[in-house]
Amino acid sequence: MTCEKQGSNGKEDSEVRFGRNSSIFENEVVTLCLSPNLLDDPCYAEDVKERARIILGGCKGGSLGSYSDSPGIEAIRRHIAEYIERRDGFPSNWEDIVICAGASEGIRHHEAYDKSRKWSKTRCYDSNSSISFIGYYLDESQNWSLEISELERSYEEAKNQCIPKALVVINPGNPTGQVLTKKNIQNIIKFAQEKNLFIFADEVYQDNVYAEGSEFHSFKKVLKEMGPPYADHEMASFMSCSKGYMGECGLRGGYAEIINMDSEIKKLYLKMISAKLCPTTLGQAVMECVVNPPKPGEPSYDQFMLEKKGVLGSLSNRAKMVADTFNSIPGISCNTVQGAMYAFPQIKLPEKAIAAAKKAGQVPDSFYAFQLLENTGICIVPGSGFGQRPGTYHFRILISV
């Protein structure tokens, strides 16, 4: 291995860094965490080494091979809180941060805990205290907005079977690719406050916003801006290193910020997750890099920003290309992909195709998906797997490949 020493400006030559190692900042930090003997290697930038030392300094025995505290390494939890403060402009308490093996696990933690305290997406519990799903539809004619009238319909119908206790919102959206406006979020918060619903805000695609005029607003920031009583509403927000510009899906890093939870309830929640020991320390290391990335003036900053902008710029171009292409095909219509990593076009299936699906014992959009895969090799997910208005057919497709 060869490398050049830093120049007078304190930065390593970018071409040498790309030639030496095409992996991004997070992967270099993880490499040093797994091989601390490389911490003195001059081929690694000082900011990479600094992050690795922070992570290893928070590990028992200075090794990623040790268990961490169940909610995660304290130093990383503190940096997550600082990241949220920079993003939202409101204080974040590091003790409200729980690192988890991806956002999915964090959500499961909360669902399991809610069930244990007999809480009844909107979600609820039936008479046997088992969790139930209450679906609601987004408004396709309004670029997949979440209308309060639809939440009211879903809530009222559910009351015949259970008492709804929580509302789940994904923003930017999966599978629909919408980005909620601040006004829409305010109305959702008001609805949740009125119905006493705990808010689960899945915000893992917060870096993925493409469409002109679209902007990510975190639920916590909007909630705090609204003031009392909304500012005191209970909610949890989730983030992950699997999405965004990172795409580190297999390393399973994520966090939850629990907001306005009663102190006694919080103690029980933390006690519950302690039974799962700790999230993967590799994933925690990557989350440190996500929330504490290279800063202007640090040697890795230029390369990091070049790669980050390159990934997000490519996704933005693909988002427009995918929607434009689908809208040029007869029988397919697609809303603007404002964010996230998916398009969710609607397909108009002919009656013969619907009849053939019925004969095959499949729902029409699943039949279409299988036929597309077998005849073209293109893999899509049928809309019936996510829920769609009766009589309509959709599919989800990635814009990232």
CA distance 65 to 208: 33
Within the chain, which residues score under 50 in pLDDT?
1-2, 4-22, 112-113, 115-129
pLDDT at res. 114: 53
> Tokens 């008479």 map to which residue?
127
Q: Is the peptide bond before 228 cis (omega within 30 degrees of 0)?
A: no
Rounded Cα distance, 135 and 383, in Å: 14
HEC secondary structure over the chain: CCCCCCCCCCCCCHHHHHHHCCCCHHHHHHHHHHCHHHHHCCCCCHHHHHHHHHHHHCCHHHCCCCCCCCCCCHHHHHHHHHHHHHHHCCCCCHHHEEEECCHHHHHHHHHHHHHHCCCCCCEEECCCCCEEECCCCCEHHHCCECCHHHHHHHHHHHCCCCCCCEEEEECCCCCCCCCCCHHHHHHHHHHHHHHCCEEEEECCCCCCECCCCCCCCCHHHHHHHHCCCHHHCCEEEEEECCCCCCCCHHHCCEEEEEECCCHHHHHHHHHHHHCCCCCCHHHHHHHHHHHCCCCCCCCCHHHHHHHHHHHHHHHHHHHHHHHHHHHCCCCEECCCCCECCEECCEECCCHHHHHHHHHCCCCHHHHHHHHHHHHHCCCCEEHHHCCCCCCCCEEEEECCC
Q: pLDDT tens, 169-186? A: 999 999 999 999 999 999
pLDDT of res. 103? 55
**Domain definitions of the chain by residue range:** 67-291, 345-401
**Tokens 């992967």 sit on residue:** 27
pLDDT of residue 252: 84
State the Cα–Cα distance between residues 321 and 323, nearest whole angstrom. 6
pLDDT digit string, tens, across residues 312-365: 999 999 999 999 999 999 999 999 999 999 999 999 999 999 999 999 999 999
Let me know: does 343 contact 337? Beta carbons within 8 Å.
yes
Neighbours of 291 (CB within 10 A): 22
Distance from C-alpha of 138 to C-alpha of 121, rounded to nearest angstrom: 13
Amino acid 326 reads F
Pick the CATH number of 67-291 from 3.40.50.2000, 1.10.238.10, 3.40.309.10, 3.40.640.10: 3.40.640.10
pTM of the full structure: 0.87
